[in-house]
Amino acid sequence: MGILQKLFKSKVDKEPKKKAEGVTFVKMKYRDDVVLGVPVRYSYEVYTAENSEQAWDFIKTKSVDKKHYYIEVNVGDVYNPEVIVGVDINGTYET
């Protein structure tokens, strides 16, 4: 493998993460706020799943390394979920 290939080795070359069945991307959602006088944009990747098991299987394959960034799976109806399973910079959660 050449030097450039080593430097620019893509994430595709690494072992792929398990894809969870039954989880569907819905949309990106943004919310702007002001925290201690500083504008902050909260970003959400929103997915939907039929049940909590599918949601947790999916969330376990994800990680977040940015503040104010969230990956959430709405269980049941995307607009009125029974449960939200998510991950942010602090780890996983369920609401």
Taking the complete model, does pTM exceed 0.85, yes or no?
Answer: no
Taking only the tens of pLDDT, the chain with its 95 residues reads: 455 444 444 333 333 344 568 999 999 999 999 999 999 999 999 999 999 999 999 999 999 999 999 999 999 998 999 999 999 999 999 99
Token pair recorded at residue 68? 């104010």
User: What is the residue type of 48?
Assistant: T
38 to each of 7, 33, 41, 50, 80, how far by Cα in Å?
A: 37, 8, 10, 38, 31
Q: What whole-number distance in Å separates Cα of residue 59 and Cα of residue 57? A: 6
